[in-house]
Amino acid sequence: MSEQKVMTTPLKRTIGRKVLLLFVVGDILGAGIYALTGKVAAEVGGAIWLPFLCAFVLAGLTAASYAELVGRFPQAAGAALYANRAFKRPFLTFMVAFAVMMSGITSASAAARAFGGDYLAEFFTVPTLAAAWFFLLAISAVNLLGISESVRVNVVLTVVEATGLLVILAIGGWALISGDGEPGRTMELETQGAPLIAVLGATALAFYALLGFEDSVNLAEETQKPRRDFPRALFGGLAIAGLIYLGVAFTTSMLVDTETLAESTGPLLEVVKVAGLTFPPGLFAVIALLAVTNTALINMIMASRLVYGMSSEGIVPKVLGRVHKGRQTPYVAIAFTLLIALTLTSTGDLAGLADTTVLLLLLVFVVVNVSVLVLRREPDDEPAKGDDGPSFRAPTWVPVVGALVSLVLASPITGRDADVYVRAGLLLAIGVVLYVINRLVVGKVDADPAKLTG
């Protein structure tokens, strides 16, 4: 196939380091911690903090690989670009890109389902599917307005959702001072089977709450100084979110019994209701709903930018890479991802979609960590115009361990339900079909990354 130069309208470099840091924090803090904490408690009892800690270690390992790769290749395609550069196999590139895209959409769909749960029920009850569809349409409208507008909304929602978690931390601090709750329960590891297997399963589930650090690399093409700013934003965002999550997990376990948490889709609302430090449950429910909104918004931004990047790589039809001349946003990609999200929301529940998201991304993380090692055989590219310094480089053992741990957590040893593997397999099978159709329509995809990227 001849060289493709699809995009004639470039993306705007408008994102600075501080906003990028807020984007990372806002992407991590969200639906997972607000909705799935009780499910983690059901797996391990009161020691909720342990799976979150283990999940953050994995996140840190893979984030280091992303930080190295985004410095070398500051473009919008993310993991798909890295796989293409490392292995030069069009099919693998497409499947990685498709898996990442679907993980973002399944995550947004899970958030949409969560929107109609216990937090919304604090005010009124509406059909979950109707609420989810309206929710996704509103999110896509914000995405269409433009990246600057979307990130500004993200900043506001990040502050709101962080405030909600700080309220939980304040409740926990007050409980410790006043002698309320049961701090000893946070050290109780109660599992149905072998403790190690239970912790692995809970870690895989907790990992959903930590997803988001990988989304930000798809904004590399819209960041002012990606080499300098991305490593700081990635690690800084993880550190901030990690401290908050561990404190929230400790507080939740200390104040609410495991059985109550396991049955709730709004576990942090249970904390507010039993707190000695009074905080209006209705107000907290609003905060939680906005946190869920933030998760969906960021994931849909990521998915649409990834489709745009895939188009620039020549592995999907060029129509998906069309950019609105006025708003400078990939409007066709936004419509495409919205259609998939609406369909998924109609066919899956919160837990199943969340676990499918994790499984898809763990498989991608294996490829990303291996790509780091492969690409080190090649010289680093020259810094982008106006950028500062060399690319970040992770210790060699980091991507090796990151790949191995990702494989373990993606395996059936975690006790993951079979239907999650079936759902993920079907989604990937759809990707295979789309790849074949694309080859028949577009022709042979050129595997040379120098020809596929601008």
Checking if the pLDDT of 406 tops 80, the result is yes
pLDDT tens-digit profile of 216-228? 776 777 776 777 7
Confidence band for 49, pLDDT divided at 50, 70 and 90: very high
Measured distance CA(96)–CA(454) in Å, rounded = 20
Question: What's the pLDDT score for residue 366?
Answer: 95
Backbone angles phi, psi at 407, to 5 degrees: -60, -45
Measured distance CA(65)–CA(78) in Å, rounded = 12
Residue whose C-alpha is closest to residue 51's, from 233, 234, 197, 150: 197
Confidence band for 436, pLDDT divided at 50, 70 and 90: confident
Residue 15 β-bridge partners: 223
What does the DSSP assignment read for 187-204? G-B--SS-HHHHHHHHHH
Instruction: Name residue, tokens 């982008």.
Output: 384
Checking if the pLDDT of 204 tops 70, the result is yes
Class of domain 17-379+390-442: mainly alpha
pLDDT tens-digit profile of 125-171? 888 888 889 999 998 888 887 666 666 776 788 788 889 999 999 99
Average pLDDT, the chain: 82
Question: What's the pLDDT score for residue 442?
Answer: 63
Higher pLDDT, 315 or 236: 236
Question: What's the pLDDT score for residue 2?
Answer: 40
pLDDT tens-digit profile of 83-109? 888 998 888 988 988 898 899 889 888
User: Which residues lie below 8 Å from residue 167, measured CB to CB, with a gap of 6+?
Assistant: 272, 279, 284, 287
CA distances from 149 to 75, 222, 286, 334, 425 (A): 21, 13, 22, 15, 36
Characterise 78 by phi-psi region: left (phi > 0), alpha (psi -120 to 50), beta (else). left
Per-residue HEC secondary structure of 202-244 comes to HHHHHHHHHCCCCHHHHHHHHECCHHHHHHHHHHHHHHHHHHH
Q: Half-sphere exposure of residue 159, counting CA atoms within 13 Å on the CB side?
A: 6
Checking if the pLDDT of 313 tops 80, the result is no
Question: What's the pLDDT score for residue 119?
Answer: 86
Measured distance CA(313)–CA(448) in Å, rounded = 10
User: Which residues lie below 8 Å from residue 429, measured CB to CB, with a gap of 6+?
Assistant: none
Tell me the average pLDDT across 111-118.
84
Confidence band for 381, pLDDT divided at 50, 70 and 90: low
Confidence band for 454, pLDDT divided at 50, 70 and 90: very low
Which region among 36-50, 59-73, 74-88, 132-146 has the lowest average model confidence (pLDDT)? 74-88
